Amino acid sequence: MPDLLADFHTHRLDAPAGATINLPPHVLDAPDSWKPRPGLNYSAGIHPWNVMPGAPINRWLQSLEQLASRPEVTAVGECGLDRLHGDFALQQNVFRKQALLAERFHKPLIIHCVKAQAELLRFHKELHPHAQWTVHGFRGNALAARQLLAAGFDLSFGRHFQPEAVRACPPDRLHIETDDSDIGLAEVAEAITPFLPPPAQE
């Protein structure tokens, strides 16, 4: 069964243990001054919305390298591709660099993907990652879910999801998250549970 008690991706810095807390962008500006709370897991990445011409991308990538080497940072991301926001060509370049960084540090990748699934699948095919890639906040339909699953991706579902995609996802490859919403993980779990397969009989 999926772990319905672990928040796979949240922006809440006060999230409980078990969550993977996404570091806010300003940490990339000053990685040395970041103080992780003991016992918590974090993810660090450059969000595609911040990938703009003129942004200090190289400096952020250096910070990311430093952060990704720390044991408290258990994933790289969120990073990704968003055709509706920002500079799509530049995003692809910066995504590739973050994916390679994740490989180098043997850390999984948390991916934001909006209207760019074909490109994402292309990257996965090209880079053949050993690290697990997971599309977070997945809102696609069952067909889109099956394509990603067949390529080796995991899926993380949040407040908005299509039940048919949850049904298409093997429970052990399904994660849940609160992301930047104001609802709790228990509410997400409650919304997802009716679409999960019934627990196996003992």
Which residues of this protein are in contact with Zn ion, per CB under 5 A?
A: 78, 179
Closer residue to Zn ion (CB): 170 or 184: 184
Q: Which is nearer to Zn ion, 124 or 136 (CB)?
A: 136
Q: Of 158, 152, 161, which Cα lies nearest the Cα of 134?
A: 152
Residue 174, phi then psi, degrees to nearest 5: -110, 135
Minimum CB separation from Zn ion for residue 136, in Å? 6
78 versus 82: smaller Cβ distance to Zn ion: 78
The first and second tokens of residue 149, run together, are 């699953």
In sequence order, the β-bridge partners of residue 20 are: 41
Residue whose CB is less far from Zn ion, 154 or 179: 179
Closest CB 190 distance from Zn ion, rounded Å: 21
Structure tokens at 150: 């067949």
CB of 134 within 8 A of CB of 109?
Answer: yes
Between CA 14 and CA 63 the distance in angstroms is: 23
- 22 has which bridge partners? 43
Provide the minimum distance between the beta carbon of 77 and Zn ion in the complex, in angstroms, as a whole number. Answer: 9
Cis peptide before 164 (omega within 30 of 0): no
C-beta nearest to Zn ion: residue: 179
The smaller minimum CB distance to Zn ion, of residues 7 and 179, is found at 179
Smallest gap from Cβ 169 to Zn ion, in A, equals 19
Smallest gap from residue 137 Cβ to Zn ion (A): 6
Structure tokens at 55: 């942004």
Cα distances (angstroms) measured from residue 14 to each of 18, 44, 73: 12, 16, 16
Q: Which is nearer to Zn ion, 68 or 75 (CB)?
A: 75
- C-beta of 5: minimal distance to Zn ion in Å? 19
